[in-house]
Structure 1
Amino acid sequence: MARTDRGAQDSGLAPYPPRDVAPAAPPRRRRGRGGGGEQLNVPPAEFTSYYGRPVLKAPVWRWDIAAYLFTGGLAAGSSLLAAGGQLTGRPALRRAGRVTSLAAVGASAYFLVNDLGKPSRFHHMLRVAKPTSPMSMGTWILTVFGPAAGVAAVAEAAPRLPERGLLGVGRRLLPPAGQAAGLIAAATAPALATYTGVLLADTAVPSWHEAYPELPTIFAGSALASGAGVGLIAAPTAQAGPARRLAVAGAALELWGSHRVENRLGLLSEPYTIGTAGRLLRAGRALTAAGVAGALLGRRSRVLAALSGGALLAASVCTRFGIFHGGVASARDPKYTVVPQLDRAQRREQGTSDVSGPGAGPNPGAGR
């Protein structure tokens, strides 16, 4: 009733609004392409963080997920190494790759189930196959890869079985089954090596989300390098040729991707260059370079080849943990969420939005 002057006078109240208050500024107009635009009845919002608290909730993942990223890549790279040894007649290389692949995928399953809390949750994810969900696809990739890697590894024990009886049948059937299973695992390995990069980029964590083109490349290179490290350690130098070539290819992909995430993303590259993530990624680059150099120079030295393989495995660990810590750090500091949003808002107002620049993300038009 008091929202009109007459109603306020009848109620014994001051006019609404009070006469001693300065009139409000005229509403701003948002300029459009045609010179006009809609009226804004509220002042422009200032994106701030509530008492400096994170805008996003940091991932609750612990070290076991970072370890899962490493072991999954190691399993994929080792299966590719085993397939190379199988197709080129290098039994030591094949054996080392198969056994390592099974051990690594077993560790991956443990780390994943440990994070999920209950083994039944992994089973429940198999109730549906959702192509748009990296987690759903990753579950099915593991389900296909794991048994294939297991059969291929068990086939290596066939020569130790007796020639007669029921075990003799296994001695005859396991080698061809192992060859087929090894090729199936190798065919699934690229998806296993890269889906975790897609999974991280599919989150709202700023430095993971904006690195969506580079993360699968980094993880693929890291997987190849770690598999090469296994071959350099376990196989004689005469059979380590495919491992050396795998090391060069993996190092090239990993170093290129790491350089990109540390330089292309603007402010969102910062978490990868400072703190724990920065130290780990710098160590990873140094170990990768040392491992490749040793692999190429140590063609006749078993000791140098083994040291190079160890360096490549350590480099893969540092890279995976560095990427993990960099993303978590970007979620904990509100500036990595707020500042890119302000930059995008300013570019839209000025009509100079660059959908391919830093902070654009895989779907830059969704916020318009």
Structure 2
Amino acid sequence: MKRGEPAVVPEAEFRSYYGRPVVKPPVWKVPDVPAYLYLGGLAGASSVMAVGAELTGRPRLARAGRLAAAAGSSLSVGALVHDLGRPARFLHMLRVLKPTSPLSVGSWILAPFSALSGAAAVSELTGVLRGPGRASAALAGVLAPAMTTYTAVLLADTAVPGWHEVYRELPFVFAGSAVSSAGALGVLAAAGEDLPARRMAIAGAAVEVAASGLMQRRAGMVAEVYRRGRAGAVLRAARVLTAVRAVAAALAGRGPAARITAGLCLSAGAAATRYGIFEAGRASVRDPRYTVVPQRDRRNRLE
């Protein structure tokens, strides 16, 4: 072939045997695991919001944050246990702490956070043991950043290409989504004291949008699963809700209608983001190209 002439033989496309997936699809259930992802993030960010509200003299916002942290973490444990099938399986995860396993570390974050948040919520509701209750809330706040993002690490550490290829950006997407959803709850539950919650909602939405955009730009061909099919439709809806919720959060101080709109859009957008990412990962496993082609590209770059 002369230099500059077009190739006669087209570039070969990858095919696996019988079109079967190369990686075993995750067996996690819907809605259990998407709920687990969303509720855990909400609980962690709400705990941080409660600590900040306590320090700045906003009792209603602190109360809302503590109750949301307890409810979110408890429901998150419930969703995880339901997905596992038996409560004993969750307890078995706590027999050993394995620092190299995100699942083991995550279990050891979730269990003490849930216990501390529950103790703080019981004290808040009953008025008993206020001092230990505040101490429990503060200790939960120490674990809260890890609680907010560990599920992103848990997903990214798998062999699922739609999650593993975006391991750098995924924790920031989850953190922004969690902060935004906690801000939504504060906007709904603490009228008159909700200025920090509105700021959280706007900041979280901005982080989520920026990190999501960067994630898809860096994902290469795997970014297709975030734009197509059910995952693409859900994530497009999440982006619309994010834009609406940011504007509504900025206007939430102007009346109950704006506050309710902001809170509902924030919550729905955060939940849609988690589900869309979960569904994108599952879609990436079904097509073997997303597993093999990025691996070949990385190998060729190293040669």
Global fold match (TM > 0.5): yes
- The answer to whether residue 182 in structure 2 is matched with residue 214 in structure 1 is no
Q: In the aligned structure 1, how far is the partner of 2:291 from the partner of 2:114?
A: 38
Partner of 2:133: 178
Q: 1:67 aligns with which of 11, 19, 35?
A: 35
Partner of 2:179: 224
The letter of the residue matching 1:65 is V
Q: In the aligned structure 2, how far is the partner of 1:177 from the partner of 1:233?
A: 27
Relative contact order, higher structure (CA 8 A, sep 6+): 2
- Seen in structure 2, the aligned counterparts of structure 1 residues 347 and 274 have a Cα distance that, compared at 3 Å, is same
Instruction: Give the deviation of 1:300 after TM superposition.
Output: 2.9
Q: In the aligned structure 1, how far is the partner of 2:110 from the partner of 2:241?
A: 29
Deviation sequence 1:313-357 (CA, Å, 0-9, x none): 101100000000001100111111122233234434xx4xxxxxx
1:180-329 mapped onto 2 (5 Å cutoff)? 180-236=135-191, 238-329=192-283
Deviation sequence 1:247-304 (CA, Å, 0-9, x none): 1221122111211222211101110111111111111111112111111123231221
State the Cα RMSD in Å.
Answer: 1.4
1:4-153 mapped onto 2 (5 Å cutoff)? 48-63=15-30, 64-153=32-121
Partner of 1:20: none
Q: Check the 8 A contact 1:67/1:111 in 2, yes or no.
A: yes
Q: In the aligned structure 1, how far is the partner of 2:197 from the partner of 2:165?
A: 32
For 2:253, what is the secondary structure of its paired residue?
Answer: coil
Structure 1, unaligned stretches of length 5 or more? 1-45, 160-170, 352-368
Partner of 1:23: none
Q: Check the 8 A contact 1:261/1:272 in 2, yes or no.
A: no
Q: Check the 8 A contact 1:80/1:227 in 2, yes or no.
A: no
Q: Check the 8 A contact 1:158/1:175 in 2, yes or no.
A: no
Deviation sequence 1:91-116 (CA, Å, 0-9, x none): 11111111122111111111111111
Q: In the aligned structure 1, how far is the partner of 2:256 from the partner of 2:49?
A: 18
Q: In the aligned structure 1, how far is the partner of 2:72 from the partner of 2:219?
A: 32
Partner of 1:157: 125
Specify which structure has the higher proportion of helix: 2
Instruction: Give the deviation of 1:147 after TM superposition.
Output: 1.1
Q: Check the 8 A contact 2:180/2:266 in 1, yes or no.
A: yes
Q: Check the 8 A contact 2:187/2:252 in 1, yes or no.
A: no
Structure 2, unaligned stretches of length 5 or more? 1-12
Q: In the aligned structure 2, how far is the partner of 1:221 from the partner of 1:249?
A: 8
Q: In the aligned structure 1, how far is the partner of 2:298 from the partner of 2:52?
A: 47
Instruction: Give the deviation of 1:55 after TM superposition.
Output: 1.1
Q: Check the 8 A contact 2:149/2:171 in 1, yes or no.
A: yes
Q: In the aligned structure 1, how far is the partner of 2:297 from the partner of 2:112?
A: 44
Q: Check the 8 A contact 1:66/1:324 in 2, yes or no.
A: yes
Q: In the aligned structure 2, how far is the partner of 1:82 from the partner of 1:303?
A: 24
For 1:82, what is the secondary structure of its paired residue?
Answer: helix
Q: Check the 8 A contact 1:99/1:153 in 2, yes or no.
A: yes
TM-score, reference length from structure 1: 0.76
The letter of the residue matching 1:298 is A
Q: In the aligned structure 2, how far is the partner of 1:303 from the partner of 1:184?
A: 35
The letter of the residue matching 2:70 is L
Q: In the aligned structure 2, how far is the partner of 1:264 from the partner of 1:282?
A: 18
Q: Check the 8 A contact 2:41/2:178 in 1, yes or no.
A: yes
Instruction: Give the deviation of 1:137 after TM superposition.
Output: 0.5
TM-score, reference length from structure 2: 0.92
Partner of 1:331: 285
Count residues in correspondence. 290
For 1:186, what is the secondary structure of its paired residue?
Answer: helix
